[in-house]
Chains A and B, each alone.
Chain A
Amino acid sequence: MIDEKGLRTDGRRPNELRPIKMEVGVLSNADGSAYIEQGKSKVLAAVYGPRELHPRHLALPDRAILRCRYHMAPFSVEERKSPAPSRREIELSKVIREALEPAIFLEKFPRTSIDIFIEVLQADGGTRCAGTTAAALALADAGIPMRDLVAACAAGKVDGVLVLDLNDIEDKEGEADMPVSYMPNLGLISLLQMDGSLTFEEFKQVLNLALEGCKQIYKLQKEALKAKYVAIKEEVETCLQS
């Protein structure tokens, strides 16, 4: 998995992220939306709300409820995936919801719901992190008040080497995988999962590696959010000059 030069299967150094592309406001029917490409993983997120909640009895008198659906398209993996929500997707929906919940001022919209839809178009590892990152962008795009953006990134251990942002093969063949979601400005971790095995010392190093990755992703998130409006601003300014 790691060659003699210390490079990984896709030619990356151990502490390097995959190339990331983010775009905000890609769906006009949603209140907020975002698209992210992280290496070969491609994920779309849409946010609706705050809106009136149906069924009504789920409404809370003091805050909005957050609902999240993580879903993999049937064509997102090599062997067709049944479109019905699997055990794994139900779990990831819950985990992503809980990763985003602490960032949102839910108490500002009592009796309503905020709905997040995360659609994995192509999966190559790290989709729960890419999904969380995209969902945070979509929430900000929808104009929902937040304490901070949530950036997510995985780190792990492959062939005895601690690596950042695992892809599908590294995740399956490696010794450990640890997805982390982080709110950098507040310094709070909102998701931390791990499978595989690490020593205590390795655990600390992998966690720090993942947090560094989250900080890099956070920067890209901010740029992506601003890009939508800066483009219009620049267009106007060039129009004025000519």
Chain B
Amino acid sequence: MKIYFENRQIVTPGDLLAEGDYVAGNNTHKIGNKIYASRLGLVEYQGKTVQVIALNTVYIPSPGDQVIGRIEDLNINGWIVDINSPYKALLRVSDAINKPFRQQKDDLTSLLDVGDLILAKVIAFDRTMDPLLSIREAGLGKITHGQIVKVSPAKIPRIIGRKASMINLLKKETECKITVGQNGIILVSGPTPDHEKLAILAIEKIAQEAHTSGLTDRIAEMIRREKGVKS
């Protein structure tokens, strides 16, 4: 039973993190009774679990995730959606509208066209099949206003914060509606473009400094300072 790093130290792939009776968590792998890091990130020891909080990842869909995507193409019974992931997502008509769809008469493009942005939920995904999306829930569907920010999907937990502290701070201070897609795409819509600009600035700062501590306080201070300059 031995650990080789301190909590929240930066580790690189191949670093030996712990030896002995430990459980390999996210972004680690076990060879024999040794646990190694498999991604660049911050190591975290929690009881018996050793995990690495990655500094950069790709988005792998998971059922239940809320994502923001762009319609890329359409075929006879649905749309193909780019969700910032190695896998293209499918949105079937039956997962988009409540009433029956008549292929001969109805026009898919009248609902969603190529280039439209949608807020959707992943309903199914496994290794053999492309992810399926649904927009048949309140609040989901075509995005009509606001601005989009793209960050690494690894930074999303930091933007939400512990018990949503960070995101609530952002919403309150910038007066913007902020919708976070688990795939690293964030929708910001506020009363004026200036409000949105401030929120985007704050989100970009969080993404850049995600691996430092005391971030919530610094973001609060930054927003107040920026607001002070304007008023």
Chain A positions within 8 Å of B, measured between CB atoms, are: 31-32, 49-52, 61, 103, 105, 109-112, 140-149, 183-186, 221-222, 225-226, 229-230, 232-233, 236-237, 240
Contacts and interface: CB of A to CB of B under 8 A. Distances in A.
Contacts of A226: 10, 12
A52 B56 contact: no
Nearest to A218: B14
A225 B127 CA distance: 30
Contact of B40 (A141, A186, A232, A236): A141
B120 to A, nearest CB: 18
Contacts of A222: 12, 15
A143 B12 contact: no
Contact of B218 (A32, A225, A236): A236
Size class of the B contact interface (CB-based, 8 Å): 20 to 34
A146 B86 contact: no
Nearest to B52: A145
Given A52-B86, A145-B27, A233-B211, A110 B127 contact: yes
B12 A149 contact: yes
A103 B127 CA distance: 21
B14 A186 contact: yes
B56 A146 contact: no
B54 interface: yes
Contacts of A143: 39-40, 54-58, 152, 154
B12 A140 contact: yes
Query: Which 7 A-B pairs rank lowest in CB-CB distance, beginning with the nearest?
Result: A148-B14, A143-B56, A146-B13, A185-B14, A145-B38, A112-B86, A50-B86
Contacts of B38: 105, 145-147
B87 A111 contact: yes
A147 B13 contact: yes
B55 A52 contact: no
B67 to A, nearest CB: 16
B25 to A, nearest CB: 13
Contact of B86 (A49, A186, A232, A237): A49
Interface string B201-217: 00000001101101000
A109 B13 contact: no
Interface string B33-69: 0001011100000000000001111101000000000
Nearest to B82: A52
A50 B58 contact: yes
Contacts of A111: 86-87
B36 A232 contact: no
Contacts of B12: 140, 149, 221-222, 225-226
